Structure 1
Amino acid sequence: MRKNHGWAAFWQKKQYIIAGTLVILAAVGMTVLYSRGQEQERKQLEQEIAAEMDTENQNVAMEEETEADQVASILKPQTQSTETAEVEKESEEADSGQEEVAPTGNTSQALHFAAEDGILWPMEGNVILDYSMDSTVYFATLDQYKYNPAVIIAGDVNSKVYAVAKGKIQSIETNEVTGCTVTEDLGDGYLAVYGQLKEPEFAVGDYVEAGHVIGYVTEPTKYYSVEGSNLYFELRKDGVPVDPIEFFE
């Protein structure tokens, strides 16, 4: 009986051990399952957060792009207006500049010379040879008497020579007697001829106003070497020389 009782006690103890072991294993299994479940939930949560962040970033980017487009649409007309205003301003300045130098352009203008209004002196200086078509005058360089269709005005080299009246540059020629010679059409058959020049400021076809610089006095030609540097000035009416002195203001 004692033997049976001992065996029963042993078997009961073994059953306790097995039951305890199973409980432990079950607990471990539950822990593992719980940990795996938490890991899966954590991963799923991270994925959801990442997806939400991507969506939010996309929304922000779209909003920024929309705002940028709106700003660009607002600023573009202003920029265009500014550019247009600048172009118009430059055009106005160019027009203003053209108005100031209009006499140097080739714009067609009606020419009219009022003889009674007279002409300006083309240069400051003493008249060393008078106009004379009725009688001859003495030319020192040539050592002879001859008619003189112009007035010869003494002046230093580089002295400025001015337009005597409003007109149009008809020709710029060079000859051995008067050197570089500029002819200005004053209108109504009148021509002003400027000789012994250099560096003419205008081109053929340009319009000039009275007082504009036509050019500068240069070294005299061999025909006026004794007289020295000077301006040769001739005034013609219908191709015939007239006395400039009678027209000078």
Structure 2
Amino acid sequence: TIVGFAPNGLASADSIIEGTRLVLPGAIPPPPPPPPPTPTPEPPAPEAPSPTPEAEPTPPAPASVYTWPFQGPITSYFGEPRGEGIYHQGIDIEGIGQEGAPVVAAAAGQVVLVDSHPAYGNYVIIRHSDGSETLYAHLCEIWVDYGQFVDQGEAVGGMGHTGYVIGTDGNHLHFELRIGGVPVDPLPYLP
């Protein structure tokens, strides 16, 4: 016990006063504080730059590297509760009355998975040059093959309602963006 632990020097529990530091038996002591930073001498001031001819302006960075995989209203947003401890890991884009309409790659990349799943239905995953992945689910048909390289805007499948879907005709696209293997809200990355 803490009271009987010799380094604490306590005769009884009544001798503990608020603010007293106690040693816990078997506890790992905290690491020592880091050493203070060593001052570094300041580098000499740079010489005044000589005049240079005016350079071409740098074009602004694109607002997004991804594009919308399907045009339609969003019917379910990332992070919405889906039951006890379950949250929506993508967005759903409505496709009512548009079964078979093209769903396109949000960015260029390589098809790394073509599969069917009880929840996703027919789905495709594309890995992009930055390592991110996009997932396209509930497709009625898949128009790409495993290992195939696709361009941004290239059709990967048809709008559908395979897998677990809710709604009058159920046609919608479940779209996920995964960065570092973790689903993230795709909306900030779309134009």
TM-score, shorter chain, exceeding 0.5: yes
Pick from 203, 211, 226 the counterpart of residue 167 of structure 2: 226
Deviations 1:68-109 (A, max 9, x none): xxxxxxxxxxxxxxxxxxxxxxxxxxxxxxxxxxxxxxxxxx
- The equivalent of 1:120 in structure 2 is 67
Deviation of 1:188 after TM superposition, in Å, equals 2.1
- The equivalent of 2:76 in structure 1 is 129
Deviations 1:47-69 (A, max 9, x none): xxxxxxxxxxxxxxxxxxxxxxx
Aligned-partner Cα distance in 2 for 1:194–1:115: 23
- The equivalent of 1:239 in structure 2 is 181
Aligned-residue RMSD, C-alpha = 2.0
Deviation of 1:187 after TM superposition, in Å, equals 2.1
1:206 aligns with 2:148: yes
1:191 maps to a residue whose letter is E
Aligned-partner Cα distance in 1 for 2:116–2:181: 19
Pick from 121, 126, 132 the counterpart of residue 184 of structure 1: 126
Pick from 68, 82, 101 the counterpart of residue 159 of structure 1: 101
Aligned-partner Cα distance in 2 for 1:239–1:116: 23
| SS of corresponding position for 1:195 | strand
Aligned-partner Cα distance in 2 for 1:220–1:201: 15
| SS of corresponding position for 2:126 | strand
- The equivalent of 1:37 in structure 2 is none
| SS of corresponding position for 2:187 | helix
Structure 1: where are the runs of 5+ without partners? 1-113
Count, aligned residues:
127
Is contact 2:121-2:161 (8 Å) kept?
no
| SS of corresponding position for 1:148 | coil
- The equivalent of 1:148 in structure 2 is 88
Is contact 1:220-1:230 (8 Å) kept?
no
Is contact 2:122-2:162 (8 Å) kept?
no
Deviation of 1:214 after TM superposition, in Å, equals 0.7
Is contact 2:111-2:144 (8 Å) kept?
yes
Aligned-partner Cα distance in 2 for 1:224–1:201: 21
Pick from 162, 170, 173 the counterpart of residue 115 of structure 2: 173
Deviation of 1:220 after TM superposition, in Å, equals 4.1
Distance 1:151 1:241, change over 3 A: same
Deviation of 1:116 after TM superposition, in Å, equals 5.7
Aligned-partner Cα distance in 1 for 2:70–2:186: 13
TM-score, normalised on structure 1?
0.48
Higher relative contact order (CA 8 A, sep 6+): 2
Deviations 1:13-35 (A, max 9, x none): xxxxxxxxxxxxxxxxxxxxxxx
Aligned-partner Cα distance in 1 for 2:73–2:167: 15
Aligned-partner Cα distance in 1 for 2:166–2:99: 13
Aligned-partner Cα distance in 2 for 1:201–1:174: 14
Deviation of 1:162 after TM superposition, in Å, equals 0.5
TM-score, normalised on structure 2?
0.61
- The equivalent of 1:96 in structure 2 is none
Deviations 1:100-136 (A, max 9, x none): xxxxxxxxxxxxxx9963311000111100011xxx4
Structure 2: where are the runs of 5+ without partners? 1-60
| SS of corresponding position for 2:145 | coil
Aligned-partner Cα distance in 1 for 2:112–2:162: 23
Deviation of 1:226 after TM superposition, in Å, equals 2.8
| SS of corresponding position for 2:174 | strand
